[in-house]
Structure 1
Amino acid sequence: MNAVEIEQAITDLAEQPFDPAEFPYAFLEAFGNKATTIKRLRAGASNKSDLGGVLQTSNIHILTCDAGRVTQTLAVLKSSPATTKAKAKFILATDGVDFEAEDLTSGDTVACAFKDFPDHFGFFLPLAGISTVRQISENAFDIRATSRLNRLYVELLKDNPEWGTAERRHDMNNLMARLIFCFFAEDTDIFIGKGRFTETVAQMSAKDSSNTHEVIATLFRAMNTKREDRAATKIPRWAEDFPYVNGQLFSGGDEVPRFSKIARSYLLHVGGLDWTKINPDIFGSMIQAVAEDEERGELGMHYTSVPNILKVLNPLFLDDLRAKLEEAGDNPRTLLNLRKRMARIRVFDPACGSGNFLVIAYKEMRAIEAEINRRRGEQDHASEIPVTNFRGIELRDFPAEIARLALVIAEYQCDVLYRGQKLALAEFLPLRNENWITCGNALRLDWLSICPTTGTGVRVQADDLFGSPLDQAEIDFANTGGETYICGNPPYKGTKNQSASEKEDLRSVFDGFTRRSGTLDYVAGWFLKAAVYASHTKADFAFVTTNSICQGGQVPVLWPVLFDLGCEIKFAYQSFKWRNLASQNAVVTVIIVGVSRNAGSVRRLFQVGQDKNNTELTTNLIGPYLIPGSDVIVEGRTSPLSSIAPMQLGNAPYDGGNLILERGEADRVGLSQHDQERWLRDLWGSTEVINGSPRKCIWIEEASLSDAMENSVIRGRIEAVRAMRCASTDAGTRAMADRPHQFREMNSGAKSTLVIPIRSSEFRPYLPVDLVDPNCCVTNLAYAIYDGPLMNLAIIASRLHLVWIGAVCGRMKTDFSYSNKMGWHTFPILTLTDKNKTDLTRCAEDILLAREHHFPATIADLYDPENMPADLRAAHDRNDEVLERIYIGRRFRNDTERLEKLFDLYTKMTASAAPDKGKKRKAGANA
């Protein structure tokens, strides 16, 4: 269950008559406990309570009590030996009137009326294995409101299916935006009288809901009609007190879908919430999910959190504004100049979604401006920061509309906070008609016309909600000398996940810059568009993005283009895991890259630690691999740069699984021991190497085919491969159908084979590599060095090589993703003497012997960072000592020094190296 579903279940529970015996089980069920778990608790099999309550081990101890004894009961729960023994995280006591609970880990408590405990549902979310509880607790209203709006939305579509069609979906979204505004307005005195909109609907619509749609349509029409025109338009007396809102929010028609009794009830329930608690920072993203079928399953769970947004905005420009405020002190003229500067700053999010980045930027700037006004003694001074300076592009119309609404709400809330409600109300209505959020494909639109440098934008007037569909921003304004900061969280999408139209988007953006856009993530298009924009005006930009654009083969495609446009990396966050509000495992690994054409002499490089605290390093240069001090770009090679053995990808089966046998399967299918020895080989891939457990594969040389086909099991599998390959839609696979007994490649070693897994955990202190029997098959899920010197194992297993791979190769999340062309063939090694080679060979032998000493422990066991054997660690230390002394005559002090040396050496070696074998041919193929 996600947080929204839990909130709904808890709310339903609070509305039911209190049953002391059933409440503990219903409470646990609301947090996702399965029926079998509840059954075992009821039976006493897993209930460890010593007080007659319900105690779930490592979770919660719940006890209901007599009226008026809740506080005493909570104290008894806390002192209970069973609570301690079962390691309960929470205790909870209630009598059906009052409700108290405590988090025994943090000491935080909840005390409220029983009917109000759903307001604190976020407090208990660890019971459901949900992380980032503080964010959910702080934004509990947004989740509750989203849940209610979703139920209303679904119920309306159930009774009005035509409103769910593509033709009417825009109208349905308009309705939701209007309702959100009305709920907010009636609770913040924008509409005179708290709850005015909801109460009017309740009073004027029949309880059977037959005219609910007519009442709402009438109110919408009133809010779209100026007071002097209402008599002519026959606005009824009961709707006349509603203000004229305008701003195109209620223009474009007032049709409303029919309401069932249930839908009417939902509407009144939503209106009954306290909408003064709305948080426009994140509410837009949650509401967006209401209107998106594919997002509703994780309703309210996916949004860019405020702390992560500030990771972008602070170093992009907010830190500088705060520093200038600090420097200004109480100097009136300096403060005035800063305020004037801020009035000309534009924040532009070309993938704005429902406006999170824009809203946070606006609120942070208003806070700085308010402090300026306070120091100048001008607290009543109207804000000079126009909300229209916060511009965006969004592909879908509803999020674009919600973005504008979120900014309108943020503006009002800031006015109330900094100037008082009276002044805020006086200036809020009518809403402005301008539209500053453009709906369209950001990679196809002209950003300079949407956020023009000198106010020469195209004006477009539309006649429906917020001017949607928004082909072009309709306002312009003079901004000569102002700054523009481009930011956001564009769609990432790797090459395999891009649609044909998205691939064409990238081609159109990169046309004239490179023909290799097909290798780039979709987000790269935003980087280039921003760089081109910045070449025409004063603009810095920063995006949250996948770490792959700063790793592996994408670096030599994207970053030379950006550098040629005069861009430099001003600040960056190295890879960090960013959790959303869903389950503990719902994480995405991102980086943040800030770019400028005038980055200055001090660059800021951030790391997010395991404790989520940021570590900042200042440097004079940040390279495209997000390392300090070097802007070298590594190009993949088909042959080694140094005097090391070539490495190649393993053998690809393309067999539909028919040439591969799991452990023990050969015996089960009836292959004799003799046949297994003749026709089967050990099969090694990443998983097999790390876990020390090879599978088997059918391996038949041409000369042995006729003998092998006499075996019915072998013959059946070969024919299955032939059928699979013939049926393939891939021409290359079909071409292999004439040799169905073989893998696509048939490479193996004669004397030795080193196997290197493609994927490896970031937590291992060394890259996994193993020496296996040469009479084996390495799959295309690993790399192999066939019959190369053993010293290659020492190099691969070194700390020096690990940090190189970590810098220049791509990653899967934050795990290492090995590459022969990018990582091994580019690895710079000084010319080795015979003694160097002998020493490294001995180091490799020592590592293998140390592993053998712990047989049957696997690489997964041995390289667990918490349990690595001392003798194996010592063998690796000696290996690192030997290798690093070859480079600089001593051990490197840290990884930064290692990378500095490696990049310096790589630069020198590539300058004098012969052309890579096959490189020219490959480049020509991409031309």
Structure 2
Amino acid sequence: MQPTDFVKKWRDMELGERQAAHSHFNDLCDLLGVTKPLDDDTKGDTYTFEKQTAKDDGRIGFADVWKKGHFAWEYKGPGKDLDAAYRQLQRYKGALGNPPLLIVSDTKTIRVYTDWTNYVTEVHEIALDDLLDAKKREFLKNVFENPSALRPKRSRDELTRDAANDFSGLAQRLRERGHDPHTVAHFVNRLVFCMFAEDVNLLPNKLFQRSMELAVKNPAEAQQNLSDLFRAMSLGGRVGFVAVPHFNGGLFDDDTALPLEKEDVKLLVHAAKLDWSEIDPSIFGTLFERGLDPSKRSQLGAHYTDAEKIMMIVEPVIIEPLTAEWEEVRGKIEAELAKAAKGKGATRTRAMNRAKKLHADFIEKLAGFRVLDPACGSGNFLYLSLKALKDIEQRANSEAEDLGLPRGLPRVGPENVLGIEINPYAAELARVSVWIGDIQWMQKKGFGTSTPILRPLNNIENRDALIEQDEETGEWREAEWPEADVIVGNPPFLGNKRMIGELGEQYVLDVRGAYRELPKTADFVMFWVLRTWKLIRNSEVKYSGLVTTNSIRGQNNRSVLQAAADNQQIFRAYSD
């Protein structure tokens, strides 16, 4: 088929989705010179129309066209909502093997979304008349034959670093003008979340970006514009004629905004044009924190843990045990469903109810599962732990649906992760990272958000994780940690000879007095190790994984490790 013939045929076509989809797709294959589903795969195993899959509510659905390892394609009738079609594909994609391209179209428009893990999503829209262009046709041919040619050039890591660098400069200028560092941090955290919310369509009509663009000529307006926006986000309201949802969560608890100069506003306009929907929470917080407080840079450099190393902790502590448990539960469900298939009447009903209960009990356990990071910094461990729990829950729901059970909606959320952090704006950064990560996951899987959009994260606490003062005696004692199933994290590294100089003599005396089991020569990290080991010993925590340094093997720290090893409570170690 020639391009002019294709365009002429489909320009005036008004058939609905069902009548037109297969014909349009087959004509497109002819136009591009690629194989059609029925020519390439008569069994429908790798390339087919109407690929059966699962919806999020447990019902059976169908992807209009699917090619394994290439794309999932959803058609809509002329004038229908292609954004809704994309959300539908996001719900299907896991059951379709997570193809790298998600495509939605009607007979007038084709929209291609890239969906590679750890890469920024790109959207390519091709109108009907664009198919007269040989380059556009070559692009679409790659969709069928060489999808890797469409892989984005920019990774999420690169985007995140660019965004963090922009805000480092803004934070520094605000501090230099005499604003309190914590006030600056809170203000900049708000700006970050506004840009994220805008790019995931929770904050409508590009309100933030437009407000900054309008203020470039008159920077004095920026403070009032932001104050109006924060006020609306606090309880839900309006900015002009635009309705703004209720966000708050403590991040937008008032309408305070700092005054901005022209260069600040220009920077915000530039930053707002980045795709904040793809920000990577696992590194964003730490990069951002470096920019907020230059005095922390060397410390953060020592403590920063990349996602790969974090997963070396999360895998054995969270993913492996819960996955093994689910596989055991799934086996029991399969056995009950086999009984139901053979039985009749009440026998069949009882077996089906037992299968449903097995699934429901496992999901209930996940909903109540708690992960504690008692030195959470800007939330890297918390975000990746939450994502791991949500992925396990999704797998359990999907596999339960495949076995014939109703598939539930997600119940795991930000309340599943607990944090303690002594630095107030690092604690807030951890909350922002968890909020962003949760919203990203929900949207990528095709689920919506409820209001208020931000639930208060009081489970991420700003306090000392090691000691607290007895109200009656005034003595310092071990600080209470919230109840948790597992503990993960990267406690601060500080050798015993540097503790007094870095932390102050009185604080060090108070900590050592509260933890008399440790020798006075023990390194700072060992206080976290000791506390964690005691919780495991008392069966209050099942598993833990902490990042430490090689120095913990030294004579000054070995007593705690030896005690734990004697009790068979240290089971795995990694080394660079």
Same fold (TM over 0.5): yes
Amino acid at match of 2:166: R
Which runs of 5 or more structure 2 residues have no equivalent in the other structure?
1-147, 334-354, 469-476
* Corresponding position: 1:162 with 2:209: no
Between the aligned partners of 1:395 and 1:567, the Cα distance in structure 2 is 31
Between the aligned partners of 2:168 and 2:408, the Cα distance in structure 1 is 40
Q: Residue 162 of structure 2 is aligned with which of 144, 148, 160?
A: 144
TM-aligned CA distance change 1:531 to 1:399, over 3 Å: same
* Corresponding position: 1:351 with 2:375: yes
Amino acid at match of 2:570: K
Structure 1 counterpart SS, 2:429: helix
Q: Residue 444 of structure 1 is aligned with which of 464, 467, 470?
A: 467
- What are the residue-to-residue correspondences of 1:510-659 with 2, within 5 Å? 510-511=512-513, 514=516, 517-539=519-541, 540-556=543-559, 558-559=560-561, 567-576=567-576
* Corresponding position: 1:172 with 2:173: no
* 1:316 matched residue in structure 2: 317
TM-aligned CA distance change 1:275 to 1:300, over 3 Å: farther
* 2:207 matched residue in structure 1: 196
Contact 1:347 1:390 in 2 (8 A): yes
Between the aligned partners of 1:184 and 1:144, the Cα distance in structure 2 is 14
* 1:382 matched residue in structure 2: 409
* 1:237 matched residue in structure 2: 240
Q: Residue 335 of structure 1 is aligned with which of 359, 362, 379?
A: 359
Between the aligned partners of 1:516 and 1:292, the Cα distance in structure 2 is 32
TM-aligned CA deviation for residue 533 of structure 1: 3.4
* 1:312-363 Cα shifts (integer Å, max 9, x gaps): 1222232111122333346244433322222222100000001111111110
Q: Residue 219 of structure 1 is aligned with which of 221, 229, 233?
A: 229
* 1:39-91 Cα shifts (integer Å, max 9, x gaps): xxxxxxxxxxxxxxxxxxxxxxxxxxxxxxxxxxxxxxxxxxxxxxxxxxxxx
TM-aligned CA deviation for residue 371 of structure 1: 0.8
- What are the residue-to-residue correspondences of 1:379-778 with 2, within 5 Å? 381-418=408-445, 420-421=446-447, 424-425=448-449, 427=450, 429-445=452-468, 449-452=480-483, 484-499=485-500, 501=503, 505=507, 507-511=509-513, 514=516, 517-539=519-541, 540-556=543-559, 558-559=560-561, 567-576=567-576
Structure 1 counterpart SS, 2:547: strand
Structure 1 counterpart SS, 2:573: strand
TM-aligned CA deviation for residue 273 of structure 1: 0.3
Could you say which structure has the greater relative contact order, defined with CA pairs below 8 angstroms and 6 or more residues apart? Answer: 2
Between the aligned partners of 1:143 and 1:351, the Cα distance in structure 2 is 23
Amino acid at match of 1:221: R
Structure 1 counterpart SS, 2:491: coil
Amino acid at match of 1:162: G
* 1:256-315 Cα shifts (integer Å, max 9, x gaps): 222111111001111110011111122111111121112458999973111111111222
Residue range with higher mean Cα deviation, 254-263 or 364-373: 254-263
* 1:873-915 Cα shifts (integer Å, max 9, x gaps): xxxxxxxxxxxxxxxxxxxxxxxxxxxxxxxxxxxxxxxxxxx
Contact 1:394 1:438 in 2 (8 A): yes
Contact 2:373 2:487 in 1 (8 A): yes
Q: Residue 207 of structure 1 is aligned with which of 217, 227, 231?
A: 217
Contact 2:156 2:279 in 1 (8 A): no
Between the aligned partners of 2:373 and 2:329, the Cα distance in structure 1 is 29
Amino acid at match of 2:196: F
Sequence identity percentage = 27
Q: Residue 364 of structure 1 is aligned with which of 382, 388, 400?
A: 388
Contact 1:348 1:485 in 2 (8 A): yes
- What are the residue-to-residue correspondences of 1:901-916 with 2, within 5 Å? none
Amino acid at match of 1:437: I
Between the aligned partners of 1:246 and 1:138, the Cα distance in structure 2 is 27
Amino acid at match of 1:145: A
Structure 2 counterpart SS, 1:359: helix
Between the aligned partners of 1:525 and 1:568, the Cα distance in structure 2 is 20
Between the aligned partners of 2:299 and 2:499, the Cα distance in structure 1 is 22
TM-aligned CA deviation for residue 551 of structure 1: 2.8
Structure 2 counterpart SS, 1:499: helix
Amino acid at match of 2:398: R
Contact 2:163 2:274 in 1 (8 A): yes
Between the aligned partners of 1:361 and 1:569, the Cα distance in structure 2 is 21
TM-aligned CA deviation for residue 544 of structure 1: 0.7
* 2:112 matched residue in structure 1: none
TM-aligned CA distance change 1:515 to 1:340, over 3 Å: closer
- TM-score, normalization by structure 1: 0.40
TM-aligned CA distance change 1:152 to 1:484, over 3 Å: same
Between the aligned partners of 2:302 and 2:282, the Cα distance in structure 1 is 14
- What are the residue-to-residue correspondences of 1:44-83 with 2, within 5 Å? none
* 1:254 matched residue in structure 2: 255
Contact 1:247 1:433 in 2 (8 A): yes
* 1:559-609 Cα shifts (integer Å, max 9, x gaps): 46657xx85333222432xxxxxxxxxxxxxxxxxxxxxxxxxxxxxxxxx
TM-aligned CA distance change 1:111 to 1:434, over 3 Å: closer
Between the aligned partners of 2:300 and 2:539, the Cα distance in structure 1 is 39
* 1:792-816 Cα shifts (integer Å, max 9, x gaps): xxxxxxxxxxxxxxxxxxxxxxxxx
Which runs of 5 or more structure 1 residues have no equivalent in the other structure?
1-109, 121-136, 228-234, 453-482, 577-927
TM-aligned CA distance change 1:545 to 1:247, over 3 Å: same
**Rg bigger for which structure?**
1
Higher helix proportion, which one?
Answer: 2
Structure 2 counterpart SS, 1:487: strand
Structure 2 counterpart SS, 1:314: helix
* 1:184 matched residue in structure 2: 196
- TM-score, normalization by structure 2: 0.62
Between the aligned partners of 1:533 and 1:542, the Cα distance in structure 2 is 13
Contact 2:373 2:418 in 1 (8 A): yes
CA-atom RMSD, angstroms? 3.2
TM-aligned CA distance change 1:507 to 1:316, over 3 Å: farther
TM-aligned CA deviation for residue 155 of structure 1: 3.1
Structure 1 counterpart SS, 2:178: helix
Contact 2:247 2:454 in 1 (8 A): yes
Between the aligned partners of 1:486 and 1:536, the Cα distance in structure 2 is 14
Between the aligned partners of 2:248 and 2:504, the Cα distance in structure 1 is 37
Structure 1 counterpart SS, 2:464: coil
Contact 2:199 2:277 in 1 (8 A): yes
Contact 1:312 1:487 in 2 (8 A): yes
Contact 1:400 1:439 in 2 (8 A): yes
TM-aligned CA deviation for residue 506 of structure 1: 5.5
